[in-house]
Amino acid sequence: MFTAESDNQEILGFVIGKLMPALEVYNPGGLTLMIDDFCVQSENLWQSVGAKLIEETKAAAKARGATQILIVCGAHDHPKRKFLSEQNLQVASEWFVGGIA
């Protein structure tokens, strides 16, 4: 987990991730950094705070053997999706979810 704080210790963003074996279909020859939770305080912070958080998280994961990053992002989260696209990431899959009756 990494956080970004302002000078007065206000949290501006955070990222929570874990290293895991890659799914065979996406196997890049190393571990995958799976980021399940990644937020910034306001959408205008993606380019600054978001970029720094991704940079720091990727460096830490690479030092531990990761070769791929996977970031969960909802279809409705347009500012985050735009930012991730600008980071040279592509949509690999989306999930459909429903209850079991």
Q: Domain residue spans in the chain?
A: 4-8+41-92
In terms of Cα–Cα distance, which of 16, 63, 11, 57 is closest to 37?
Answer: 16
Q: Considering the entire predicted model, what is its pTM?
A: 0.85
Q: Is 87 helix (H, G, I), strand (E, B) or coil?
A: coil
- Give the model confidence (pLDDT) of 57-93 as tens digits: 999 999 999 999 999 999 999 999 999 999 999 998 8
CA distance to 41, 42, 57, 70, per residue, from 1 (Å): 16, 19, 8, 15
- Residue 51: pLDDT band (50, 70, 90) is very high
